[in-house]
């Protein structure tokens, strides 16, 4: 059996990093972890090819080679996924589609005949048997959440690692919280399921053996959903790093109650975590209560952010505008909070009602849904009727994002973060790729684009006051080039 696995293309978004990937000679931010994992569940004697449209062109010969096509996509990749499905149908090849886009939105794709809805582990044996017999069902799903301690390691051999900036791994699925707007609990549930520490170390070892020595993104939607198990994992990671002399760095996503656990903070830093994305959402207490973001309510949000920064990790923040409780001063309050907290990477988006979320159901009952979600956090599109004036929200949002990523404002925010940042361990020694990125930034940001004066002033201040973290500071400066491009396009 010949299987072609296709990852849909990602448009230019906040997290695509399209405009900075050339600085480090990479084609995409990270590979399609879902497809790489599904590939490991297929029979060993089957022939597999993986085409990631973010790094490789899809050729007619690839489609004609295959007996079946596995297509995976997120909501933001809907246009690309549809084009792939239409092309495969024109070549008379059967598409089996899975992933977040299809799990909650398969009705939008009449051109696709077969869907895997939800997590794949419990579904694959039946799907494989039906593929071999040539009698496929339209839908494959399971009411049971899979035991991910049985999930095999990704098939790294199907991709060229050097094309990517970061490698993804997954430790857990599910989140114990119940935010109204979130679709994670729809797809993965509220009880966090985790892999074993030994299993995760083996997956990390497989990456190192494949030749990877750089950044790893633990893609869990809430890495600390089960604190007892994550601490056991971190201790195993620390032991593995120490025994093997491993220098991998890690990024992940976590809830803000991370700041409440000093032991957890310390373990994460010891294990090599450098960055953590936190969904802060709003500085407004009423809006946090409205969306049931209880883990953020009734606390000093700025102090919590600074505590994480002080521990030795950068906080990347997610923010939302458009809650029913938002007042007309939300833009000023949001700007003030982000600047005071020193959150350099601040992803601010308009509220989106994602399919099958509690927010979508409520707004639908209120006859306020006007079109499907795009899946792009920062496209400046509202897919529902807000309480505040729609034009006021969209215009104010666009102005806010442009202000946040204007050169002077952005560089000042980096300097504010560096005042709190207390990295531990040996100094970061950049490899040739990072040195090349720095040289390119001198040319692109210091000569060829607007904001040259602010850029060189920033470089000088870092050299004088923050020399020990110069590589980290310049990495953030380079990231700002991408964010400004995205902000200008909103």
328: number of Cβ within 10 Å? 11
The model's pTM is: 0.95
Distance of CA 103 to the CA centre of its chain: 18
Strand order across the beta sheet in which 114-116 lies: 47-52, 2-7, 68-72, 94-98, 114-116, 139-140
pLDDT of residue 428: 60
Rounded-to-integer distance, Cα 83 and Cα 421, Å: 45
Residue 195 phi, psi (nearest 5)? -80, 165
The whole-angstrom separation of Cα 3 and Cα 38 is 11
Q: How many other β-carbons are positioned within 10 Å of the β-carbon of residue 274?
A: 18
What 3-state DSSP class applies to 115? strand
Burial track 391-424 (b if 16+ CB lie within 10 A, e otherwise): eebbebbeebbebbbbbebbbbbbbbbbebbebe
The full set of domains in the chain, from first to last, is: 2-140 (3.40.50), 166-404 (3.20.20.70)
Nearest to 388 by CA among 325, 336, 318, 319: 325
pLDDT score at 153: 97
Which pLDDT does position 51 carry in this prediction? 98
Q: How far apart are CA 438 and CA 476, in angstroms?
A: 11
pLDDT in tens, the chain (490 residues): 999 999 999 999 998 999 999 999 999 999 999 999 999 999 999 999 999 999 999 999 999 999 999 999 999 999 999 999 999 999 999 999 999 999 999 999 999 999 999 999 999 999 999 999 999 999 999 999 999 999 999 999 999 999 999 999 999 999 999 999 999 999 999 999 999 999 999 999 999 999 999 999 999 999 999 999 999 999 999 999 999 998 899 999 999 999 999 999 999 999 999 999 999 999 999 999 999 999 999 999 999 999 999 999 999 999 999 999 999 999 999 999 999 999 999 999 999 999 999 999 999 999 999 998 888 877 778 999 999 999 999 999 999 999 999 999 999 999 999 999 999 866 666 666 788 889 999 999 999 999 999 999 999 999 999 999 999 999 999 999 999 999 988 8
Cβ–Cβ under 8 Å, residues 220 and 171: yes
């Amino acid at each position: 059996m010949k299987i072609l696995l296709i990852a849909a293309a990602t448009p230019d978004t906040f997290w695509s990093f399209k405009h900075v990937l050339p600085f480090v000679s990479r084609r995409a931010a990270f590979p399609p972890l879902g497809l790489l994992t599904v590939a490991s569940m297929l029979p060993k004697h089957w022939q597999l090819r993986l085409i990631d449209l973010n790094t490789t062109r899809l050729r007619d010969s690839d489609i004609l080679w295959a007996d079946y096509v596995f297509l995976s996509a997120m909501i933001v990749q809907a246009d690309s996924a549809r084009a792939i499905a239409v092309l495969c149908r024109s070549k008379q090849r059967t598409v089996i589609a899975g992933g977040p886009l299809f799990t909650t939105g398969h009705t939008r794709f009449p051109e696709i005949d077969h869907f895997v809805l939800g997590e794949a582990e419990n579904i694959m044996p039946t799907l494989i048997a039906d593929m071999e017999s040539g009698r496929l069902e339209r839908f494959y799903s399971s009411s049971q959440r899979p035991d991910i301690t049985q999930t095999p390691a990704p098939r790294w051999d199907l991709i060229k690692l050097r094309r990517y900036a970061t490698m993804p791994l997954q430790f857990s699925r599910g989140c114990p919280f119940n935010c109204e707007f979130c679709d994670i609990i729809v797809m993965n549930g509220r009880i966090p399921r985790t892999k074993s520490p030994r299993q995760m170390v083996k997956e990390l070892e497989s990456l190192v053996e494949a030749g990877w020595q750089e950044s790893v993104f633990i893609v869990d939607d809430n890495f600390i959903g089960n604190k007892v198990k994550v601490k056991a994992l971190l201790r195993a990671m620390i032991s593995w790093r120490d025994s093997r002399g491993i220098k991998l760095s890690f990024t992940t996503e976590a809830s803000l109650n991370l700041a409440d656990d000093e032991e957890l903070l310390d373990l994460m830093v010891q294990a090599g975590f450098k960055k953590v994305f936190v969904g802060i959402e709003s500085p407004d207490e009423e809006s946090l209560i409205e969306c049931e973001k209880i883990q953020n309510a009734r606390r000093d949000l700025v102090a919590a952010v600074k505590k994480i920064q002080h521990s030795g990790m950068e906080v990347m923040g997610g923010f939302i505008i458009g809650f029913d409780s938002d007042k007309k001063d939300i833009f000023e309050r949001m700007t003030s909070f982000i600047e005071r907290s020193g959150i350099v990477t601040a992803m601010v988006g308009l509220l989106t009602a994602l399919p099958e979320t509690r927010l979508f159901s409520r707004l639908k009952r209120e006859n306020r849904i006007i079109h499907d979600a795009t899946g792009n956090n920062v496209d400046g599109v509202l897919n529902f009727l807000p309480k505040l004036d729609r034009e006021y929200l969209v215009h104010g949002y666009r102005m806010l994002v442009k202000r946040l990523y204007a050169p002077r404002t952005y560089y000042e925010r980096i300097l504010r973060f560096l005042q709190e940042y207390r990295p531990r361990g040996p100094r970061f020694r950049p490899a040739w790729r990072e040195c090349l990125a720095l040289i390119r930034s001198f040319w692109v940001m210091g000569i060829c684009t607007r904001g040259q004066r602010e850029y060189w002033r920033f470089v000088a201040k870092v050299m004088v006051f923050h020399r020990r973290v110069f590589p980290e500071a310049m990495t953030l400066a380079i990231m700002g080039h991408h964010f400004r491009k995205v902000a200008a396009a909103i």
